Amino acid sequence: MGLTMGLNLLLLVAMVATNILSLYHLSSTIQSKPTPPPAPVPDHLRHQLNTIRATLTHLTRLRSTSSSSASSATPSDLLLYTHLSPMASSCRDHPDLLHTYMTYTPFSLCPDDSQLAESLILRGCHPLPRRRCFARTPSKLPSSLPADPFSPLPDSAVLWTKYSCKSFSCFDGGLGFNMKLEASRFTSSGSNLDLTIPQLLQIAKDASSVIRIGLDIGGGTGTFAAKMKPYNVTVVSTTMSQGAPYNEATALRGLVPLHAPLQQRLPVFDGVVDLVRCGRAVNRWIPTVAMEFFFYDVDRVLRGGGYLWLDHFFSKGADLQKLYAPVIGKLGYKKVKWTMANKTDSSGVKNGEVYLTALLQKPVSR
């Protein structure tokens, strides 16, 4: 269990880092100019800085040409599309990425650039503009797909060009691709921070609350959805394919992946969902105001009496008391479970972090 947790942290880093960076980026671009980088810059930061630089260049250019003449480099399909449908304003903050994305030959095969799309989405450019090209698919189909979502996944069903791994077995255990490990999740409780699915369903039952549909935010490869399926609960997982085929794996397991970033308004109508689970993707790396908007959007989609489950939310110990507990408290939910514990992995100890697992019930009426 401890190993799983450590590896899950890897998952967190792999899946969420860029997502969170994008949020920081959003807030930092609003605030001020970027400071000059120190000597050794990691690749992803260099990338971020380049986009910031490109944005500034773009803005300067717009200002100096009095905005009447759009950049001559704007791809024609981008110009065409902007007349048809709105695009997220953040798309315009990344003209270099956006132009690359929209530079393609219409009516032919799309470039093999789903990681570019992913990068734009994670920077808040969502919805992405549509394109008039054919997305690539693997050249041969797997002969069959398993009915059991914990069976090994067929490598041939994924386009591996965009990933450094070239097979499912290549990923670290905790990332969600080791089906033996995944099968053991949500079934037993290793600590008070764990809520098992039988416990969850019993709590709901005792409250005469029926759970039939749910959303798993940052759902990885969809294991929570897979685990809820035998209980006839339909869970849809939001997941990104940053560095690993999380969306592809979820779909191959017969579950629905929603390719939606954390900062997007949930693509679900008001008051229709019985349960929202937030895994560790929702944590202190999200700027507080962005997190507030997120929680209120979760509240919007939850029905009265529905449950919000914060599963291993982490933050600095002091912040949990001073910042996050009040933010969560403002929702006015009933605390069915509220368990805190020290985060004992190395980064947790270093940063004085704590975990919170909370099961909160939305009031039936306000």
Ligand X SMILES: *[C@@H]1O[C@H](CO)[C@@H](O)[C@H](O)[C@H]1NC(C)=O
List residues near ligand X by CB under 6 A.
231-232, 317, 342, 352
Q: Minimum distance between the CB of residue 226 and ligand X, rounded to whole angstroms?
A: 14
Nearest to 216 by CA among 207, 206, 226: 226
Q: Would you say 69 or 232 has its CB closer to ligand X?
A: 232
How large is the angle between the packed helices 2-31 and 114-122, nearest 10 degrees? 70
> How distant, in Å, are the alpha carbons of 49, 111, 320 from that of 123?
13, 20, 27
Nearest to 129 by CA among 73, 91, 72: 91
Q: Would you say 210 or 327 has its CB closer to ligand X?
A: 210
> How distant, in Å, are the alpha carbons of 49, 229, 315, 316, 354 from that of 341?
36, 30, 11, 11, 6
Q: Would you say 188 or 342 has its CB closer to ligand X?
A: 342
Q: Minimum distance between the CB of residue 211 and ligand X, rounded to whole angstroms?
A: 11
Handedness of CA 298, 299, 300, 301 (dihedral sign): positive
DSSP code of residue 161: T
Cβ 211 vs Cβ 204: under 8 Å: yes
The whole-angstrom separation of Cα 328 and Cα 338 is 11
Q: Minimum distance between the CB of residue 344 and ligand X, rounded to whole angstroms?
A: 8
Torsional class of 310: left (φ above 0), alpha (ψ -120 to 50), beta (otherwise): beta
Cβ 309 vs Cβ 346: under 8 Å: no
Q: Minimum distance between the CB of residue 339 and ligand X, rounded to whole angstroms?
A: 12
Q: Minimum distance between the CB of residue 103 and ligand X, rounded to whole angstroms?
A: 49
The encoded tokens of residue 99 equal 């132009």
Q: Would you say 190 or 352 has its CB closer to ligand X?
A: 352
Q: Would you say 208 or 232 has its CB closer to ligand X?
A: 232
The whole-angstrom separation of Cα 52 and Cα 34 is 8
Q: Would you say 23 or 228 has its CB closer to ligand X?
A: 228
Residue labelled with tokens 């490109």: 54
Q: Minimum distance between the CB of residue 272 and ligand X, rounded to whole angstroms?
A: 21
Q: Minimum distance between the CB of residue 313 and ligand X, rounded to whole angstroms?
A: 16
Q: Would you say 143 or 232 has its CB closer to ligand X?
A: 232
Within 10 A of 297 (CB to CB), how many other CB atoms are there? 16
Q: Would you say 123 or 312 has its CB closer to ligand X?
A: 312
Q: Minimum distance between the CB of residue 230 and ligand X, rounded to whole angstroms?
A: 6
